[in-house]
Amino acid sequence: MTTQTANKHKTTYESTNLAKHTNPNPLQRLLIDRFHQKAAKLFNRTGAQSVLDAGCGEGFGMQHVMQRGNAHIVGLDSSVGALHLAQHSHPNKHFASGSLPTLPFPDTRFDLVVCMEVLEHLDDPAKGLAELCRVSRQWLLLSVPNEPFFRGANFLRGKNVAALGNDPGHVNHWSSKGFARFVSKQLHIVERQQSFPWTLILCQKM
């Protein structure tokens, strides 16, 4: 997902997530902004005072989704480059290095666990979801690509054509209903939203 190249004078960082959120294309900006708005409404429903942003990347979720309230937010990611940018953009937030399916936190540590655009990358998503449940006290906010619309949109705009629009690293492909069925095996779904081409689910521990 990420690459870092360094020379004597500078270090550059690139990732598909960074490219997605900084792309100037007006249609892509519209889709991402709408996704963030819907995610923010679900986030605000929880009233959480402690939040884990699992797979925080460069901190775009913190910037656009987790704005309201005075919750204590911890960001976690496996990419050192992503964490560096996130810390630079959010100097008052706390960050940790780590990844699913082994989170470096005790049971029920957070009121809310946010995990956006991560589960589709896991070889064992059920185990990853169980680990997210373990560190949550009550709430989880999850999102994944809504298939086949995500791949179709990629293909039509000429992205990842050889892979029929599938992003590198996506090993799980859920429709909106399929993802809800997957989540409901471990959690109670409070609300499911579709924000083309993504699915959002707010859920609680059973």
Residue 14 has pLDDT above 80, yes or no: no
Q: Which CATH architecture has domain 24-205?
A: 3-Layer(aba) Sandwich (3.40)
**148-153 own/partner pairs: CB under 8 Å, 24+ apart:** 148/173, 148/175, 149/196, 149/197, 150/197, 150/198, 152/197, 153/196, 153/197
**Rounded to the nearest 5 degrees, what angle is found at the Cα of 2, between the Cα atoms of 6 and 148?**
155
**What is the per-residue pLDDT across 171-183, written as a single tens digit (0 to 9) for each?**
999 999 999 999 9
Q: Are 102 and 131 in contact (CB under 8 A)?
A: yes
Residue 196 corresponds to which tokens in the numbers above? 């083309």
Residue spans of the domains in the chain: they are 24-205
Q: Are strands 11-15 and 2-6 parallel, antiparallel or unpaired?
A: antiparallel
Check residue 144 and give its pLDDT.
Answer: 98
Half-sphere exposure of 16 (CA within 13 A, CB side): 11
Residue type, 189: I
Condensed to tens digits (0 to 9), the pLDDT of residues 59-108 reads 999 999 998 778 999 999 999 999 999 999 999 899 999 999 899 999 99
Q: Taking residues 179-203, report their average pLDDT.
A: 98
What sections of the chain are H helices per DSSP? 16-22, 26-46, 60-64, 80-89, 125-135, 149-156, 176-184
**Which amino acid would we find at residue 96?**
A
Residue with tokens 């780590």: 98
